[in-house]
Chains A and B, each alone.
Chain A
Amino acid sequence: MLFTKPSDIEGWLANLQQLRSTKTCANPSFIKPFHLAMLAHVLRTESVGHLTMPEKIGNYADTMMLWEALGIESPFPSKSRLAGGRYSPIILLQDRSTIDAVADKLVSLFSPVCADERTIDAVRTMLRELIDNCYSHSAVEGSLYGMICAQVWAGGRKAQIVLSDSGVGIRASLLENELLHARLDAENSCTIATEFGVTGKPGRGHSGYGLSVARKLLENNNGMLYVRSGNEAFSLLQNVAKSSYTELEWDGTLLVIEWDLDKQVDISDVYSTLPLPEGLDDDDFFA
């Protein structure tokens, strides 16, 4: 099984743009969690009250609880909603106190197909940090901060996690930090956001760990990371990093993470690469 390509996500974004304007669009040929998370994100902003789709992909969408995410009744009988062990249906992020439970639920998909505890710990920690960022950085006070879903392909040895937030977007968030204005005039905000120490809230305790840790983990995994906000995107596909711009806008921020289940990672390897100041190197505070 091949990794999802950034162009697959961009192509679906174009389809969703068509859906917005004509109320209909073409189906993806191979449907994945990112299709449904993006669809749910768009349809929620449109306050859609009715959605139909062909049965073949509709069953999958129902399993992923698309209609529940939209707050409308599913046309499929409840008997078809057996998620099994391969899917984590769309979860609406509404309560910050549930972050660990949500991360545990997603990571439970990995356990049967990935025996390495360090890798599981790395994915769990990364997810906790990224979901928390959704609450911290979305700048939207209200009942819905974002949504998350995932799927594991045991035979294809891949896993996909999609996190979509409803916030102001990366560029607007980073513009709160005046020190970044010059860079933001010239560079892609999504790419800047994957660097260590980049944050829109430097004086308010924030340090910008989430996306930089995710990027380094995906580099070590030789996997795929796609960050989309507004008309800007950053992608990492098997250690090829690209910045891109399109005419199509995305409200908020979209993260698509695709993992190689056979490549183990250790988050301490990532932490060990974080820069340290000169002069203080004593760590005997561990008993």
Chain B
Amino acid sequence: MMMTSSLKVDIFDIASDLTTRPVGARARSVLLEMLEDNETIEIDFHGKSLTPSFADECIGQLAAELGFEDFRARVKMLNVSESSRPLIRHVVLTRCNPL
């Protein structure tokens, strides 16, 4: 079935904080469910800093489950803080292609 919809997601609607692995894992599960019904999602981080553990659990492992090309095509991240950008790059690339 072809999907064309795009969904905007406020990260704080699916995560109570951007700190812990358990919260990151739950947020990843919700994002995967959203991706079953929508072609693309845009996640708004409101410029807040993520911890490495949250970034790895939520975004890194989401990328690993989707695969790098699918993740890049279907997941966009808005308002990611400047300090968190190299962290997200690291967790996505590392999870998609382990060292």
- Interface of A toward B, CB cutoff 8 Å: 96-97, 99-100, 118, 121-122, 124-125, 128-129, 132-133, 135-136, 197, 205-207, 209-210, 213, 266-268, 271-272, 274-287
Contacts and interface: CB of A to CB of B under 8 A. Distances in A.
Interface residues of B, number: 41
B56 A286 contact: no
Given A275-B94, A285-B77, A287-B78, 16 more contacts: A99-B19, A100-B19, A121-B81, A128-B19, A129-B19, A129-B52, A136-B20, A206-B21, A209-B51, A268-B82, A268-B86, A280-B96, A285-B92, A286-B77, A286-B85, A287-B77
A100 B17 contact: yes
B95 to A, nearest CB: 9
Interface in B81-99: 81-90, 92-94, 96-99
Contacts of B31: none
A279 B68 CA distance: 11
B68 A125 contact: no
A15 B27 CA distance: 47
A104 to B, nearest CB: 11
B51 A129 contact: yes
Contacts of A275: 94, 99
B72 interface: yes
A275 B25 CA distance: 23
B29 to A, nearest CB: 13
A99 B15 CA distance: 14
A237 B9 CA distance: 44
Contacts of B97: 277-280
B91 to A, nearest CB: 8
Contacts, number: 114
Nearest to A279: B97
Contacts of B78: 287
A182 B65 CA distance: 32
A281 B71 contact: no
Nearest to A131: B19
Contact of A285 (B20, B22, B76): B76
A125 to B, nearest CB: 5
Give 8 closest A-B pairs by Cβ, nearest first. A209-B52, A271-B86, A277-B97, A287-B76, A271-B87, A268-B83, A129-B51, A128-B19
Nearest to A277: B97
A268 B83 CA distance: 5
Given A124-B49, A285-B75, A274 B83 contact: no
Contact of A271 (B20, B71, B90): B90
B42 interface: yes
A285 B19 contact: no
A190 B78 CA distance: 38
A205 B57 contact: yes
25 contacts: A99-B17, A99-B19, A121-B49, A121-B81, A124-B49, A125-B83, A132-B20, A132-B21, A205-B57, A206-B21, A207-B56, A209-B51, A213-B52, A267-B83, A268-B82, A268-B84, A271-B87, A274-B94, A278-B97, A282-B72, A283-B89, A283-B92, A285-B92, A286-B85, A286-B88
Contacts of B25: 205
Contacts of A197: 99
Contacts of A121: 49, 81, 83
A205 B21 CA distance: 8
Nearest to B85: A286
Contacts of B80: 286
A256 B86 CA distance: 27
A266 B98 contact: no
